[in-house]
Amino acid sequence: MKGDFSRWRAPNGLQQAYMGVVMQQGRLLTDSDWNETLSIHAFRSETALTDLVGRSGTSKEEPGFEINPGAGGFTIGAGRFYVDGLMVENAEAVSYDAQSGDDLSFDPFFAPDLGPGAEALIFLEASKTHVTAQEDALLSDPALGGPDTCTRIKAQWRVRALPINVTGDARDTLIERARCGIMPDDDAFRATTGRMRAGTAPAAELPEDADCLIPPEAGYLSQENQTYRIQIVTGGSRSAARFVWSRENGAVQALLERNADGEFVLRGAQDLEPMNFVSGGWVEVFDDHNTALGTTGQFLRLTLTEGVASFTPGVTGIDQMVNPRVRRWDTPASGPARLPLTTTAMDLENGVQVSFTSGFYQEGDFWIFEARAATGTVIWPQRRDDEPDEAVLPFGWGRHYAPLALATRAGGGIAGVEDIRPLIPNLVCLEAEDIRFDDTVCQMGAETVQEALEVLCQRSGGEGICTFVAGSRGELLSIVRALQPGQHARICLRGAQFPLDIPLEFNRLGHITLEGTGPQSIVSVADGEAAFLFRDCASVRVTDMSLNGGRTGTEPPGRRAGRLGSITAINCGDTSVERVRLRCKAGLDRAAACISTRAGNRRAQVLVRDCHLTVGQAQIGVNIIEARRAVVENNLLVPEFVSPGRVLDRMIADPVLVGRISRGLLWFDDSIPGNAGNVLVNGQEAPLSSLRPRFEALSFDLNNQARRLRGFASFGVAQNLLRAIEANRAEAVADTREMRAYIRNVLATAIRNNGRARVGQSNQRIFPFATLGLPDAGYMAQGIVIAGAEVEEALVTGNHIERANDGIRIAASGREDPNPPGWLDGRRPRNIVRQARVRENVIELQPVSALSVAHGIYLGHVDNVTAGQNRITGTQNFEQSEFRPHYGMRQFGYRGRLLVWSENHAEQISNGFAVLPSINPDTVGTWRLRDNNAFDTRNRTIVAQGVDVL
């Protein structure tokens, strides 16, 4: 919108929810009033259509923009399409090459990155274009003698092709989302995240030649009212992007033509001083091709000599331009045409200043604001509720997209076209097949209401929709053993006991549902971790019953597939567990779970809702691996009751736990591990190494070689070990490796023996045992775990977790990272959590020891995460003078576009909220901790550079 506007009030009108502009008698009607009316009505109509239609779509009865093989790449069918509420129309079928008309040339379909056999996503791009009489001569009325009047807004479209490489579930997901009008998550459709603020320099002593009408307190030092435009002409990160500016909203433009002598002249240039061209200034030479593609033209210096225009350097490709034009920019001629984006205020002219935030900027982004002589200020912000210095996103509608088809390149055209257009049914004749069906609960294998009704109609039997009914162990075993591969079944359990000797297995079946009558339907297994074990089933649903798992470590050799649960689903489709009471047995180390799913290559959805889980000591509550989407809602997870003495006995009998605790007591490295760079601890800058425990170094001689021994200072471990070793010089130790093994043995013995160990001939105290902080009651290793090579979405809300070393852990696992990891440089790893929502969970933290890492909520590599209103408390108030690696909430790894934690509460935990480590400062994203509370913590917040704490 580069018209000659007096002001641009549309942003405020939309934010205030104005319905229209009302004229008054005898009052002045300004162009701003008219334009605000247009903006309000366009916004309301586009929003209404988006709410009704969705992100994009075309009529089911008369669909438009159908893609078919044909000459010129492919053909584009006639019809209408709605893209985020904007209607675009193709009047008649046209080839890809000819879609822009004979005069323009768009990107060739067969670009170098779309080779033979390559698959392409074909999509529609919609935008709004500002049209003047220089683009459409019919807008100028000859009766008026040439002056332009109003301009127009045009809905513009073009069809494009993007190489894409998706297979399996990822392809199915792309198609499913496309048919709902949603584009794939790709950088090609990346939205702007950068923001700009405008203002004036602080009022200072006016220059001697200043107009006496300028107020002494003015920041804007001009008597001309101006409408400034800031426009991005080179996209990218803030450091890579560039901008230009105009005091006339970029509206000063003219046609570029040749006179009879072949010289350039500017036709349509105005003689009015503010609206004419300046010899020696910067101009942009562009044409209809630039306008259609949304690209910037050539920036050149203009020289005017008696009406003849010349450019430095010369205009490139003028003979190929369609309707070439020249636009004036007011960037100072003494400097470069394109200016860098700075985070500090940059002077434009007459006290006007702009600054930019870090983020991603698109070519064509723009901002408009007015400068007013009467007040000596610029009008900023553009909305009434904005703060005076608030940075805002760009104005304008931008470019929006809609999916059309998938196809592969074949020779000079395409083949294998798969139509993925979102179709809009006619509301007056809506049918059941038009209504999508959420099959998460019913697990019928239906996608629409019509398909669900057909499945129900095919079911029969006296027990309603139950395929089978079991009232005893024998009946249940007979039913399951009789099921055939691929068979669907809904098995209903009466209120009874179902004791099993070994896990009940469901192998290679269809859609399987097991439904009880409530907690009185009780299934227990004696010799096996899993009561129900599902393998390779189309889908799984278990509801309304009680299940008790058996002893851990009882699975036959070769049959284990990770940690099994009382309910286990391996390589199955969508899985849901609702209103089930589950119990898993205790073990020495993490070996079992109450619920365990491993989707494998199916990349299915998993739902766990309204369940009561009693978790055995050191085990896991919910363990979800490789799920495409995981939803864990409103569950209660508590550890089984164990007497205090029994807890300690189990812990010191577990060599894995003893090893972890001993490693926490002592390190042998000369350097403190950790990434380089500083962090903010409670708002103060500190090196990352300062978060490590305080060490002390002692030297001792071993075969005439100096070695270093590092110990945890507050425990005095190093001193005690050194005294013990010095008192036992007769011990035969040949090298460093043997010495380390010997010390580990001493520490392990001390952990098992109340802090004491025999060294030589004496039983010595190595450390005060109570300082280990071992739990005195039952605990769980982890409450909820969501992991896998890639997690598309994780939703964890409303859960109550008691006494867990890790309450909630969401982290895509993988072995893709090199050493050092590439994500520190801002490179997105493959193992990623695309979207996580963690809200309203209550977690009671119980670390395994004072030295073991523990988290209320832990997040690994994340693209998009919000966490709010979670409450995390420790079981005791640890002394804050000692380092404890315990965190209320912690994110460690790659951070994508959004990380927002708000209104969370952490109490009696060493570290409240931590976001680490620092990554490449050019990585684009909004990372913010807002309104989080921390009490009785040593460190309230620990954040990397670039993370805002509000």
139-190: per-residue pLDDT in tens? 877 777 666 778 888 888 989 888 888 888 889 889 989 988 999 988 888 8
**Whether residue 46 has pLDDT greater than 90:** no
* Paired sense of beta strands 86-90 and 511-515, if any: unpaired
pLDDT confidence of residue 148 = 74
Non-local CB neighbours of 369 within 8 Å, separated by 6+ positions: 8, 198, 227, 228, 378, 379, 380, 382
Give the CA radius of gyration of the chain: 35
Look up residue 424 and give its amino acid: I
Burial of 82 (0-12, 13-18, 19+ CB in 10 A): buried
Average pLDDT taken over every residue of the chain = 83
**Whether residue 90 has pLDDT greater than 90:** yes
Q: Which two tokens stand for residue 421?
A: 């257009």
Q: Which whole number is the average pLDDT over 913-938?
A: 87
In the numeric block, the tokens 């099994």 are attached to 564
Of the candidate ranges 202-216, 367-381, 610-624, the one whose mean pLDDT is the lowest: 202-216
pLDDT band at residue 715 using 50, 70 and 90 as cut-offs: very low
Angstrom distance (rounded) from CA 414 to CA 914: 51
The answer to whether residues 698 and 722 touch, using CB atoms and an 8 Å cutoff, is yes
Residues facing 525 on adjacent strands: 500
Nearest-5° Cα angle at 840, 834 to 843: 100
Backbone angles phi, psi at 646, to 5 degrees: -70, -35
pLDDT band at residue 727 using 50, 70 and 90 as cut-offs: low
pLDDT band at residue 202 using 50, 70 and 90 as cut-offs: confident
**Whether residue 881 has pLDDT greater than 60:** no
pLDDT band at residue 244 using 50, 70 and 90 as cut-offs: very high
At 457 the three-state DSSP class reads helix
Q: Give the other-Cβ count within 10 Å of 583's Cβ.
A: 18
At 33 the three-state DSSP class reads helix
- In tens, the pLDDT along 498-549 reads 999 999 999 999 999 999 999 999 999 998 889 999 999 999 999 999 999 9
The answer to whether residues 242 and 341 touch, using CB atoms and an 8 Å cutoff, is yes
Residues facing 377 on adjacent strands: 372
- What percent of the residues of the chain are helix, what percent strand, and what percent coil, each to the nearest 5? 15, 40, 45
pLDDT confidence of residue 109 = 59
* Paired sense of beta strands 352-356 and 196-200, if any: antiparallel
Look up residue 798 and give its amino acid: G
Sheet holding 352-356, edge to edge: 196-200, 352-356, 346-349
Sheet holding 94-95, edge to edge: 67-68, 75-76, 94-95
At 724 the three-state DSSP class reads helix
Look up residue 119 and give its amino acid: E
Supply the pTM of this predicted model.
Answer: 0.53
pLDDT band at residue 682 using 50, 70 and 90 as cut-offs: confident
pLDDT band at residue 555 using 50, 70 and 90 as cut-offs: low
Residues facing 624 on adjacent strands: 597, 786
Q: What percent of the chain has pLDDT over 90?
A: 43
Angstrom distance (rounded) from CA 592 to CA 598: 13
pLDDT confidence of residue 742 = 74
- In tens, the pLDDT along 73-84 reads 899 999 999 999
* Paired sense of beta strands 522-525 and 539-548, if any: parallel
Burial of 763 (0-12, 13-18, 19+ CB in 10 A): exposed
The answer to whether residues 407 and 74 touch, using CB atoms and an 8 Å cutoff, is yes
Angstrom distance (rounded) from CA 564 to CA 556: 12
* Paired sense of beta strands 282-286 and 325-328, if any: antiparallel
* Paired sense of beta strands 636-639 and 666-667, if any: unpaired
In this structure, what is the dihedral angle of CA atoms 113, 118, 119, 122, given to the nearest 10 degrees?
40
Instruction: Supply the angle between the helices 717-726 and 736-752 in degrees, to the nearest 10.
Output: 110
Angstrom distance (rounded) from CA 828 to CA 326: 41
DSSP 448: B
Of the candidate ranges 217-226, 511-520, 925-934, the one whose mean pLDDT is the lowest: 217-226
- In tens, the pLDDT along 294-313 reads 889 999 999 999 889 999 99
**CA distances, 305 to each of 10, 252, 573, 765, 949 (Å):** 40, 19, 75, 97, 58
Of the candidate ranges 35-39, 339-343, 686-690, the one whose mean pLDDT is the lowest: 686-690
Question: For residue 86, how many C-alpha atoms fall within 13 Å in the half-sphere facing its CB?
Answer: 20
DSSP 795: E
**Whether residue 272 has pLDDT greater than 80:** no
The answer to whether residues 492 and 466 touch, using CB atoms and an 8 Å cutoff, is yes
pLDDT confidence of residue 724 = 62
Residues facing 873 on adjacent strands: 844, 907
Backbone angles phi, psi at 405, to 5 degrees: -165, 160
Look up residue 99 and give its amino acid: Q
Angstrom distance (rounded) from CA 816 to CA 297: 42
pLDDT confidence of residue 719 = 62
Q: Which whole number is the average pLDDT over 666-681?
A: 52
Angstrom distance (rounded) from CA 701 to CA 690: 29
Instruction: Supply the angle between the helices 655-665 and 644-652 in degrees, to the nearest 10.
Output: 80
pLDDT confidence of residue 717 = 60
Cis ω for the linkage preceding 313 (within 30 of 0): yes
Angstrom distance (rounded) from CA 581 to CA 316: 75
**Whether residue 266 has pLDDT greater than 90:** yes
Q: What percent of the chain has pLDDT over 70?
A: 83
At 772 the three-state DSSP class reads helix
Nearest-5° Cα angle at 553, 534 to 492: 30
The answer to whether residues 911 and 852 touch, using CB atoms and an 8 Å cutoff, is no
The answer to whether residues 264 and 285 touch, using CB atoms and an 8 Å cutoff, is no
Q: Which two tokens stand for residue 927?
A: 């990372």
The answer to whether residues 60 and 75 touch, using CB atoms and an 8 Å cutoff, is no
In this structure, what is the dihedral angle of CA atoms 674, 675, 681, 685, given to the nearest 10 degrees?
130
Nearest residue to 122 via CA among 422, 405, 408, 409: 405
Q: Which whole number is the average pLDDT over 54-60?
A: 90
Q: Which whole number is the average pLDDT over 442-466?
A: 68
DSSP 433: G
Angstrom distance (rounded) from CA 896 to CA 170: 20
Q: Long-range contacts for 346-349 (Cβ within 8 Å, ≥24 apart)?
A: 347/201, 348/228, 348/245, 349/222, 349/247
pLDDT band at residue 674 using 50, 70 and 90 as cut-offs: very low
pLDDT confidence of residue 711 = 39
Q: What stretch of H or E contains 522? A: strand 522-525
Q: What is the DSSP string of 594-646?
A: EEEEE-GGG--EEEEES-EEEEPTT-EEEEEES-SEEEEES-EEEEPP--HHH
Angstrom distance (rounded) from CA 843 to CA 800: 6
Q: Give the other-Cβ count within 10 Å of 280's Cβ.
A: 11
Non-local CB neighbours of 757 within 8 Å, separated by 6+ positions: 724, 746, 747, 749, 750, 763, 764, 766
Q: What stretch of H or E contains 663? A: helix 655-665
Q: Which two tokens stand for residue 450?
A: 């019509």
**Whether residue 128 has pLDDT greater than 50:** yes
The answer to whether residues 127 and 398 touch, using CB atoms and an 8 Å cutoff, is yes
